[in-house]
Amino acid sequence: MSGMTTTIATTNTANPARTWRRLAGAALIAWPLMHFGGFVTSPPGETHEPAVFREHATLVQISAVLLHYSAVLIVAVVLGMAYLLYDRMPRLAVGAAIVGVLAAVNGSGLLMMDFYDLALAETIPDAQAVAVTGQAAAYGGFVYGFLLPAFLLHPVLIGLTVALVRAGLARWWQPVLLVGGLALPFLVADQPAAVQALGAVLILGALAPTAVRVLR
């Protein structure tokens, strides 16, 4: 009887860990797919021109929502990668998890600007809309409280992937693909949204093997 009790207790203890691993593994696949959707539905142009936002109001909203949930999924991605590293590099894993989650949350908050930019474009003259957006983006609280912390996300993701390679848990080409996927949208910002979205395909290629490892 005591043996059966021990088995049940062990099973109950193990199930939550398995569930979290599955969620993290699913996020490693879902994030690039959501990221792809957010980019492929984004309005044309490198800047938030009021005229473009008015013309593509529906796309602006769809893209912002998809990119918001993409940022939410990154929280699970960072935690999943940190989980794999924890036994070998506990300090790095914990530090990267904290910074990565903070960066992802800040990145999600930035997406609200799209809705405000759209509302400004539809309610006031273009020159005023541009001036208001510029003023908001110049506030120190925005720059140092939201924008710069969000930019820490890419170094964290790259650092975690490189650490996984050093720990023997990833292949050398995975961080290369990841860097390419993260950089591509910036390098082809003047190209159509579908071209920018190809960065997400590279990210998927970089993270898919890690997802398989997490799901085992």
Question: What is the distance between the alpha carbons of residues 14 and 12, in angstroms, rounded to a whole number?
Answer: 6
In a domain, 128, yes or no: yes
Q: What is the pTM of this model?
A: 0.86
In a domain, 62, yes or no: yes
Which residues, 6+ apart, have CB-to-CB distance to 167 below 8 Å?
84, 85, 88, 89
pLDDT at 189 over 90: no
In a domain, 162, yes or no: yes
In a domain, 7, yes or no: no
pLDDT at position 181: 96
Which among 180, 108, 181, 172 is positioned nearest to 146, based on CA atoms? Answer: 108
In a domain, 4, yes or no: no
**pLDDT band, very low/low/confident/very high, at 14 (cuts 50, 70, 90):** low
pLDDT at position 5: 45
Q: Which comes out higher in pLDDT, residue 61 or 213? A: 61
| CB-CB contact of 100 with 160 (8 Å) | yes
In a domain, 124, yes or no: yes
Taking each helix axis from N to C end, the angle separating 112-123 and 57-85, rounded to the nearest 10 degrees, works out to 170
In a domain, 101, yes or no: yes
- Per-residue model confidence as pLDDT tens digits over 62-90: 999 999 999 999 999 999 999 889 999 99
Which residues, 6+ apart, have CB-to-CB distance to 140 below 8 Å?
none
In a domain, 75, yes or no: yes
Please give the residue range of the domain that contains residue 167: 17-215
| CB-CB contact of 66 with 34 (8 Å) | yes
Taking each helix axis from N to C end, the angle separating 126-138 and 112-123, rounded to the nearest 10 degrees, works out to 150
As for how many domains the chain has, the answer is: 1
Q: Which comes out higher in pLDDT, residue 86 or 13? A: 86
| CB-CB contact of 82 with 161 (8 Å) | no
- Per-residue model confidence as pLDDT tens digits over 172-185: 999 999 999 999 99
Question: What is the distance between the alpha carbons of residues 161 and 49, in angstroms, rounded to a whole number?
Answer: 36
The CA angle 128-131-133, to the nearest 5 degrees, is 110
